[in-house]
Structure 1
């Protein structure tokens, strides 16, 4: 239950989670990129703890987000694809924090599908950018059929500067409402600490860079992919699958288009950094910066043309390696942690940092509590796991990231094994080398023990069939959308004449306070 006024809640840290969409760690200066400019992220990293090798649990939006919010692998919550429904009976980070006395709020996107559009959030300030129905269900019964909602390379071909866009409109609204909420929360009589999530669309494709950030870069300085695209027939199995999924040679892409897409992406990353800067400025102006844990991450990365690949949907580091930076109470300063960690670790870590981890011992989570690492730089131990069960394939694909090695396995694909210390670009698949056959066999046996891959494939297909049927039914006749409709009580906004003892709304929000 929430603590009563006068309790110690004001001393418990607030939590501000900032999520970008499709922001690759490898495209950020604090992860080694020599060109991209993110001054606010860099200052945050210098004052906090940066995880150099953080991984999402699935290289796709909804499965990644649901895994992060629950601390459970996507297969354990049925998060197979971007039209999956997170079951209401599975606790999220917000449920735990709210039960422990936190006020929880979401501004922006979280890709919730289905009737439950809150999943533990007490308040939600915007609708989602993506549809909340079952229209984007893949079809493993007919895996070679191209669905109308699949990615294409149109966003690469049309990349460039913009003065206005749908994602810009959405991100401006979500950021403004988050800052507005912070001001109201500070002025509120509610004694509870808060957990506020701001989740924006950029730098997700389409690659449309706001012009003033586009002008930070020039074509000649844009770095091109290190590993160029090969002819379709010469690509590795992953490349051939992605070619069949969103390329197929239908939209010719040359050096000029690649350069413009990467320039637009970098501009979008710099725009995201400015949004973060606005939040940081609001926290400081309100005096909330000293008692707020900031967490910055992304749901997955973007291949940005490496190997001829774009977007995500594979287990190369460009797609699954994400930024993860924490700063605030209980977080060490200027720390860089090199060991692999996972989004799955965020739930137990934030509960521990927020002093709300009493229930963790009874939870069978797939993530680890990294609060000791965050506080002191202690080296975390353990494997990082990943799964993919969506479009472009017809069998589950799993990843085991252990030490310096990454193992990727599927019954429907050739096995991959990379030593990222010796081969950070993942150019040499050790699974093709007879000298590593014992290691491959042992890891294959382990993957088969960890996952019931045949049973999982059946579950995925049955889920797809059910959801396609439901979508067909619910789009016939009168439609009752699940898309979230933000609620606004205008009777409590601005100047009103209801009640004799209402405080002056200007005086409660004014900064600095009226003398």
Structure 2
């Protein structure tokens, strides 16, 4: 790669709570570098290296989980996991689409820098991922389920569910639809990402065959540490799994950014039913860890991936698009029932695993370890998080509508690179959005507002997340916040420069990064 080295000023090390160095750093506003991975591990790790399991959903908005305060959806396994571990309530994906966010997760590099900023994309040749970093430390590194990455050489995961098509080999997006009840294939709604899945993407997603593959991978060699990614296809649309009849659409509480129509309520019931399917998959994986005797030495990280395919969620940089429901469980290391408020991103996961394994994370990664936040020795990791949305090349997408954002603990600055154009994607073709448009045409002012602000956006949006968590009131013209806007814009500009992000020019070249 020709990308420049990371500017460590932009990705700050965790601030230590109780050392003189840490206190001095807080006073001066400077970042403090954690002790090197080996020294930190010597002080905090048992002699046996921990195992790592990532369980990642597919298009699940962060607030649609019981332990995140949702009173309607039933997620007993996720709620139990949170009670046994830690909720990471300020985890963010750097992109609100499947391929960019996953490739950032596995490489520790932000999307533009690794080359995979559009959907259906591939990283630059030579980019390394989890297997390259963990295997030299003695780990087996496997993946079961959805891939959505490439090229194969950059993601050499072992695929325990081999034999399920191209995805089992580590590359290829070929799955036409999910398996519905009765074994029939359901056609994807328009906007099908053709997301690949080994073993039928965990057989919807942890069926008998895939569960056996997961079990055999985990139990194969109890003396060798492992890292396993279990990548579900739930609750990605079409929402045709689970029993939607258990949810009365009329009794559901809608998030404040959704327009209340019968179509919205029926869709929400179906979506919640499929979240239950993912929740059961989480329970199955945890049972396998228990049954194989590996649960106590395994750091489990459950991620909701990105926002679901609702308006104002996926394909946007609002929190409903990029904020993640993340739960970490690590018996004896992570305090049960705890919560971390530290800002962190998917690119930070790989460095955290390396630090937990006793290694020094490479300096050229964008991510930084949040191991101290997990173990309760730090309460801050990043001052800001960043994200990109590349709409060029998505189904029914605009020729170019790039979006960039920076967010700190309170404010978010969104830059719409081609704001004169109409934003569009596959959502506009669905019955749900059409029901919003019909309600707007009938004179409903809220429906009109939500339709208009989805299609047409200003050059800059600015939100106070603390007072307006669902980003309903744009403060980009508020005079009293001019200094805050300038501060965050300067940070966003510096980050884009460091990433090699040329804004509109990068957007127009996006199709060159998509798979051929």
Change (3 A) 1:128 1:204: farther
Structure with bigger gyration radius: 1
Match 2:257 to one of 214, 227, 236: 227
- Does residue 464 of the first structure (1) align with residue 465 of the second (2)? no
| RMSD of aligned alpha carbons | 3.1
Other-structure match for 1:291? 297
Among 347, 350, 353, the alignment partner of 2:353 is 350
Secondary structure of the corresponding residue to residue 123 of structure 1: coil
4+ residue runs over 6 A deviation: 128-131
1:81-102 deviation line (CA, Å, top 9, x unaligned): 1221123411212221112110
How far is 1:190 from its partner? 7.0
Judge conservation of contact 2:143–2:229 (CA < 8 Å) in 1. yes
Unaligned runs of 5+ residues in structure 1 are 1-7, 136-148, 150-154, 156-160, 230-253, 472-515
Q: TM-score, normalised by structure 2?
A: 0.71
User: SS of the residue aligned with 1:412?
Assistant: coil
Look up the SS of the partner of 2:54 in the other structure. strand
Distance in 1, matches of 2:144 and 2:266, equals 30
Please tell me whether the aligned partners of residues 109 and 201 of structure 1 are also in contact (alpha carbons under 8 angstroms).
yes
Q: Work out whether 1:198 is the aligned partner of 2:230.
A: yes
**CA gap 1:428/1:9 in 2 versus in 1, 3 angstroms:** closer
Partner of 1:123: 159
Counterpart in the other structure of 1:415: 460
SS at match of 1:314: coil
1:31 corresponds to which of 36, 61, 68: 68
Q: State how 1:469-480 maps to structure 2 within 5 Å.
A: 471=516
Partner of 1:387: 388
* Corresponding residue for residue 102 of structure 2: 65
2:57 and 2:232 in contact (8 A); partners too? yes
1:428-443 matches, cutoff 5 A: 428-443=473-488
Name the CA shift for 1:424/1:454 in 2 (closer, same or farther; >3 Å).
Answer: closer
The answer to whether the 8 A contact 2:300-2:330 is kept is yes
SS in structure 1 of the partner of residue 149 of structure 2: coil
| Secondary structure of 2:253 counterpart | coil
Answering whether residue 318 of structure 2 is matched by residue 316 of structure 1, we say yes
Distance 1:347 1:170, change over 3 A: closer
Where structure 2 has 5 or more consecutive residues not aligned to the other structure, the ranges are 1-44, 187-198, 420-458
TM-score (norm 1): 0.72
Shift of 1:341: 1.8
Distance in 2 between residues matched to 1:9 and 1:193, nearest whole Å: 13
Match of 1:449, SS state, is helix
Q: CA deviation at 1:323?
A: 1.1
Aligned to 1:107, what secondary structure does the other structure show?
A: strand
Contact 2:105 2:346 in 1 (8 A): yes
SS of residue in 2 equivalent to 1:210:
coil
- Please tell me whether the aligned partners of residues 296 and 324 of structure 1 are also in contact (alpha carbons under 8 angstroms): yes
Provide the rounded CA distance (Å) in 1 between the counterparts of 2:158 and 2:371. Answer: 25
State the Cα distance separating 1:128 from its structure 2 match: 6.4
Q: Distance in 2 between matches of 1:349 and 1:285?
A: 26
Q: Deviations over 1:371-406 (max 9, x none)?
A: 111011621232111111233452532111112111
Q: CA deviation at 1:170?
A: 3.7
**2:222 aligned with 1:184, yes or no?**
no
Q: Corresponding residue for 1:209?
A: 241
Q: Choose which of 238, 257, 279 in structure 1 pairs with 2:285.
A: 279
1: CA distance, partners of 2:185 / 2:334: 36
Counterpart CA distance in 2 for 1:264 and 1:162 is 14
Quick one: which of 134, 137, 142 aligns to 1:100?
137
Contact 2:167–2:173, Cα closer than 8 Å, also in 1: no
Deviates most, 92-101 or 448-457: 448-457
Q: Does 1:335 align with 2:338?
A: yes
Question: Is the CA contact (8 Å cut-off) linking 1:171 and 1:202 kept in structure 2?
Answer: no
Equivalent position of 1:46 in the other structure = 83
SS across alignment from 1:376: coil
Q: Which piece of structure 1 moves more, 365-374 or 332-341?
A: 332-341
Q: 1:76 to 1:412 in 2, by over 3 A?
A: same
Pair 1:403-2:439 in alignment = no
When the two structures are aligned, how many residues end up with a matched partner?
Answer: 405
Distance apart, 1:313 and its partner CA: 0.5
1:47–1:333 contact (8 Å) kept in structure 2: yes
CA distance in 1, matches of 2:338, 2:129: 28
The alpha-carbon deviation at position 312 of structure 1 amounts to 0.6
Q: How does 1:67-86 map to 2 (within 5 A)?
A: 67-86=104-123
Q: Deviations over 1:84-124 (max 9, x none)?
A: 1123411212221112110011110120244x177131335
Separation in 2, partners of 1:449, 1:285: 49
Distance (Å, rounded) in 2 between the aligned partners of 1:442 and 1:311? 26
Q: What's the CA shift for 1:33?
A: 0.7
The more displaced of 83-92 and 119-128 is 119-128
